[in-house]
Amino acid sequence: MHNDKKSRTRRGRRPAADPERHARKCEICRHSERDAIEREFIDWHPPGTIVDDHQLNSRAGIYRHAHAVGLFPRRRHNLRSSLELVIQEAQRTSPTGDAIIRAVRAYCRVTRDGRWVEPPKHLIISRRPSVPSSRQPGPAESILHPKSTVNRIAESARKM
């Protein structure tokens, strides 16, 4: 005696759809532009736009189809397309400069196969050899070249 509501699976844990039933009932599976619809979904186009462009009945149908045929993993793998859309739509909206820069930086860190890659971080330390001069070093030079300053003080003490 299970209550139907309690025996249903929770959202996100839905059972796999029967492929034959899905193919019979699904509006997108029977649509003449099925490949284009799936490509747009995978490329992160807004579902509402896909519905309007292809005269579909609802956004829910797109999501049902995507779950049934496994489009979500392919879509997640294609993260760069979503960032391309954010960058592309920056003209039509009023995002802050910071938001655009963050989208571009994120775009640069995602590889074509959807992996996030941190840019290499390098710290370059270079030393210039101290050049003896006839003048007294200033305070900045004393900090930058402590050995040469110590040597100069020692030399001037010997001369006295």
Q: Is residue 124 part of a domain?
A: no
Asked if residue 116 belongs to a domain, the reply is: no
Same-domain status, 73 and 23: yes
Distances (CA, A) of 149 to 35, 48, 127, 137, 159: 74, 72, 16, 7, 16
pLDDT at position 82 is 75
The answer on 60 and 99 residing in a single domain is no
User: What integer pLDDT is reported at residue 28 of this predicted model?
Assistant: 94
Residue 88's pLDDT is 78
Helix (H), strand (E), coil (C) string for 121-153: CCCCCCCCCCCCCCCCCCHHHHHHCHHHHHHHH
Which structural domain range is residue 44 located in?
13-77
Residue ranges, the chain, pLDDT below 70: 1-15, 123, 130-160
Asked if residue 105 and residue 72 are part of one domain, the reply reads: no
Q: Are residues 30 and 68 in the same domain?
A: yes
Q: Are 94 and 57 found together in one domain?
A: no
Residue 92 lies in a domain: yes
**Token reading at 127:** 């030393």
Q: Is residue 17 part of a domain?
A: yes
User: How many structural domains is the chain composed of?
Assistant: 2
Which residue in 98, 101, 117 sits closest to 109, CA to CA? 117
What does the pLDDT look like over 118-129, one tens digit per residue?
A: 877 776 777 777
Q: Could you tell me if 23 and 73 lie in one domain? A: yes
Is 49 a domain residue? yes
What is the pLDDT, as a whole number, of residue 91?
A: 76
Q: Which of 109, 126, 151 marks a domain boundary?
A: 109
